Structure 1
C-alpha cells in the first residue's frame, strides 16, 4: 500500500472577523461545531467510540471516504483532543485510533441529536414541502 498521504498539511489562520476577544470565543465555538458536525468526523467518531480502530478498519467502515480525507479527519480529531493515536512498535508499525472521554461525551450528544432528527423528520419534510409549494405559487417574492 502507498503512503502517499504523508505530506498532508493543516493550514491554521484566524479570519478577520475573529480577531477581537469576544468574537474569538464565538468563532472558536463555531469552529468546533463545524469540525465535529462534518459527515466524516461523525462517521469516524461513531466507529472509534465503539473501540480502537486501525486506519484500514476506518477506511472500510466509513463508506465513501478517500484516504486523504480520512487522514485529514483523523489528524483534525486528534488535534482537537477527540482521538488518541497509539503507535505500537511492531514491524510493520500498528497504529490505532481511540475516542477520548471527550469524544464519548460528544457521541452521547450525537445520539440525542439523531433521536431528535428521527422524531421530527416528518414535520421537517412537511414544512419543506409547504415552503416549496408556497414559493412555487409566488407566495413569497424577494
Structure 2
C-alpha cells in the first residue's frame, strides 16, 4: 500500500498507480485540494478511473484508490487499515500492531518546522516496521 501525504496534484501517487500499485491513499490537509486538484488529475491520468466524490474506487487495473482530508495529528483515525490493525493485538507481544504502509511519498509537504513532530508521529503509525520506506522531497530554502 502506498500513502501520499500532502498530495496536492498527486503526481507521485498517479505514477505509482500507473506502475501497478495495489492500493494508493491520497491525503491532503484541505478537502478542496483533493476535489479541485487531486481527483481531477487522477481522473485525467489514470485510465478507467472516473469519480466525482471522496470515496473508495477501483480502476480496471485493480488499483484501489482512496482520498483523505485532514491534518497529520488526526488523519490516521480516518484510515481504514489503521483502524482495523489498531484493534488487533499481537498475541506474542501483547502490543497493538502497526499499520501496514509499504511506501509513504511526500513532495513539498512541510512548510513549517512545527509540523515535523506531527509528520513523524504519523509516519510511525502508518509505516510497516519491517520493510516500509518513506520518500520525502523538499526545497532547501523557502522564500
What band does the TM-score fall into relative to the shorter chain?
A: under 0.3
More strand by share: 2
With structure 1 as the length reference, what TM-score do the two structures score? 0.26
With structure 2 as the length reference, what TM-score do the two structures score? 0.26
Higher RCO structure, 1 or 2 (CA under 8 Å, sep 6+): 2
Which has the larger Rg?
1
